[in-house]
A and B are shown apart, each in its own frame.
Chain A
Amino acid sequence: MKGKREIGLLVVLVVLIAACSFAKPIFLDPRNINSILLWMPLLLVAAVGQFPVIVARGIDISTGSIVGLSAISVGLLVKASPTIPVPMLFIAGGMVGLILGCLNGLIIAFGKVPAVVATIGTLTAFRGLTFVVSKGDQIDSTAIPQSLTSLANQGINIGNVTISWLLFIGFVLAILAFFASNRLQFYRNIFAFGSNPDAAFLRGISPKTVELICYCASGSLAGVAGTMYLARFGFANPGSAGQGFELIVIAAVAIGGVKITGGSGSIVGVFLGCALLSCINVALTVLGIDADWQLLVYGATILIALIIDSVSQRRKATA
């Protein structure tokens, strides 16, 4: 049955784009496509990180706070020494995320605390830490060097459509994750652990290692997304940076067909889930739907995606 889910998603995506561009031809305007493409990189990178965690029967709810803390830390770093090269900023963001993710992993794998509880706890704790680190101050746009923000508005031009460097980084990470998930023995172990932890243990897969590494990966990618946040928005507020982002990420992964109870899913699905959510978000604006209605439509879309999925799976089961 592999691949059917992805094809279904692709059909939904194409139908959505066709319907929107039929209703409003401006939807296919290069500038509009650019705004869809700007929405994607953050979501994509964080979702690629969330993917192994959910496959391994866990969940990382602290993603939003990790994005916030990493954005603030990188902002402080850049404020202190503005000449620091841009790649270093991404590494710094990833390191911050790695430490936080490792903490999650230790609490969950070695402390045996259920993932939902542990990451809800660290969601609050990391958000508090963001305020402590920044002393409650916002990182202003004046502190962010041009070299970082230009990653969001410059890139590879194809006609009038710009693939921003940020999106390029996102694509590269997603492609790396795609090959990793298909080729690496360790990634197979994650799937094995997710489908049946007991059987995986008997086959000699260490559950602690699998869980620890999954949360480390999720944390460090969320950290990279934090640096991207800084590049994309040009400022970071300790209260609002990444706030609520975790739910969008989990929604994208779930829409992408990754089973929330673990054991199955694909990076291609995650990619399409992110693309679909980005399109929906931009479509709402283009179709002139009042900003106050967006959350409602957003919730309804997730619900409909879930119901369609459940119906199709039940049909599969009876067939």
Chain B
Amino acid sequence: MKRPELIPAILTILVVAFFWKISPDFRDVNYLLANTTIFAETGLLAIGLTLIIISGNIDLSVGSSLVLTSCLVAKFTNDGTPIFVSVLMALIIGTLLGTINGLLITVGKLPSFLVTLATMALYRGAAQAMMGPASAKVPQPLKGIDRSDFHGLPYPFIIFVICALIVGLILHRMILGRWLFGIGTNKEAAHYTGFPVNRATISAFAITGFLIGISALLMDSRLGVARHDLAKGIELDAITIVVAGGTAIAGGKGTMIGTVLSWLLIYFVKTGMGVNNLKAEYQLTIIGIILVLSVFSQQIADRFSTNRQRKTTKIEAR
């Protein structure tokens, strides 16, 4: 299908229309905006994962990197590191963790699924070894970004949109993006074309790490504490967003706008179910079904469009 992001776009409109009709609480635009602060963190991970999945890899360790970074930052700021330095440090640590993944995959020639499965345990394990059962308080000046806004737009939401824009430009308008699409389509061919396969793959992981750093700062700031057992399962949420947005899990296909739209879709579904007091357990089931259905409908649309293409070529051949 030429425009895979159409499906989340249509679904988002349907979902918004549905909840707008059935629940008056959903019609509060201020509430809808304020609620984005929680989802911005997952959204940032999804932006990075879009690059990684397009390049034909996967990163299961994003949640663990997020936790390790947030714990380290909270700890450093508590020990008296100036805010400016610890913000910088969050970005550096996040990028470093991503780069380690990228190096293991490219230089170590290991499958990304297994490497990140291992670092998923390793990074969270490091956070647990460092923190123990305790939680680190985040000092005052770093706290409360979720409650501050710019003309009604919460800052986490603005940060999410800016990051999506920049990474979207990298993906669709810059050479790195072309490399990633090439690698995801056919790694061998990309190599023989002269694409720097290793460098591009490591870059994708490093960019994701950088976004994880931002996400960790947002999470620290919103929660006011850092613990080793936070954000469990967030990697699956992020992968759900990316894949429901039309990015092919096998690589080589996808768009940033699809990820953003699918983020909106999941966000509206979750918020709508929340304001309608749907039990958390039903919410889980519904999110799982959405993921499978959206990929399924893309497959059907794909088959439909290839059939049509075949027909037209047949006619031309005649």
Write the residues of chain A forming the contact surface with B, with a CB cutoff of 8 angstroms: 59, 107, 111-114, 116-118, 120-132, 136, 238, 247, 250-251, 254, 260-261, 290, 292-300, 302-303, 306-307, 310, 314
Contacts and interface: CB of A to CB of B under 8 A. Distances in A.
Interface string B258-285: 0000000000000000000001111111
Given A125-B288, A300-B122, A120 B110 contact: no
Interface string B107-127: 011110111011111111110
A107 B121 contact: no
Given A120-B240, A131-B281, A314 B109 contact: yes
A218 B125 CA distance: 29
Contacts of B129: 290, 292-293, 295-296
Contacts of B289: 121, 125
Interface in B277-301: 279-289, 291-292, 295-296, 299
B285 A125 contact: yes
A254 B243 contact: no
Specify the main secondary structure of chain A where it touches its partner.
helix
Contacts of A314: 109
Contacts of B286: 128
A116 B57 CA distance: 12
27 contacts: A111-B292, A113-B296, A113-B299, A116-B113, A118-B295, A121-B240, A121-B288, A121-B289, A121-B291, A121-B295, A122-B288, A123-B236, A124-B236, A125-B287, A125-B289, A128-B285, A131-B280, A251-B118, A254-B114, A292-B133, A293-B125, A296-B128, A299-B118, A302-B117, A303-B118, A303-B122, A307-B104
B169 interface: no
Which of A111, A124, A302 is the most central at the interface, judged by chain B CB atoms within 10 Å of its CB? A124
Contact of A299 (B125, B250, B287): B125
A306 B114 contact: yes
A306 B296 contact: no
Nearest to A129: B285
The 3 closest A-B pairs by CB, nearest first: A131-B281, A125-B288, A296-B125
Contacts of A261: 111
A299 B122 contact: yes
Contact of A251 (B115, B117, B250, B282): B117
A296 B288 contact: no
Q: DSSP class of B's interface residues: helix, strand, loop or mixed? A: helix
Contacts of B109: 310, 314
Interface of B: 58, 104, 108-111, 113-115, 117-126, 128-129, 131-133, 236, 239-240, 243, 248-250, 279-289, 291-292, 295-296, 299, 303
A111 B292 CA distance: 9
Given A118-B292, A123-B236, A261-B111, 19 more contacts: A116-B58, A117-B249, A117-B291, A120-B236, A121-B288, A122-B288, A122-B292, A123-B288, A124-B287, A129-B285, A131-B281, A136-B279, A250-B117, A251-B117, A260-B114, A292-B133, A295-B121, A299-B122, A307-B104
A117 B250 CA distance: 10
Nearest to A125: B288
B66 to A, nearest CB: 15
Contacts of B280: 131
Nearest to A314: B109
A310 B111 CA distance: 10
A130 B285 CA distance: 9
Nearest to A115: B249
Contacts of A302: 114, 117-118, 121
B284 A297 contact: no
B289 to A, nearest CB: 6
Contacts of B126: 296
A56 to B, nearest CB: 16
Contacts of A310: 108-110
B308 to A, nearest CB: 18
Contacts of B243: 117
Contacts of B303: 112
Nearest to B123: A299
B253 to A, nearest CB: 12
Contacts of B133: 292
Nearest to A238: B281
Contact of A107 (B108, B120, B292): B292
A247 B117 contact: yes
B265 to A, nearest CB: 14
Contacts of B284: 124-125, 127-128, 131
Contact of B295 (A59, A114, A254, A306): A114
A258 to B, nearest CB: 11
Given A107-B292, A111-B296, A120-B240, A128 B121 contact: no
A251 B115 CA distance: 11
B249 A128 contact: no
A59 to B, nearest CB: 8
Contacts of B236: 120, 123-124
A100 B282 CA distance: 17
Contacts of B239: 117, 120
Central interface residue in A112, A114, A247, A303, by most chain B CB within 10 Å: A303
B173 to A, nearest CB: 28
A124 B290 CA distance: 11
B116 to A, nearest CB: 10
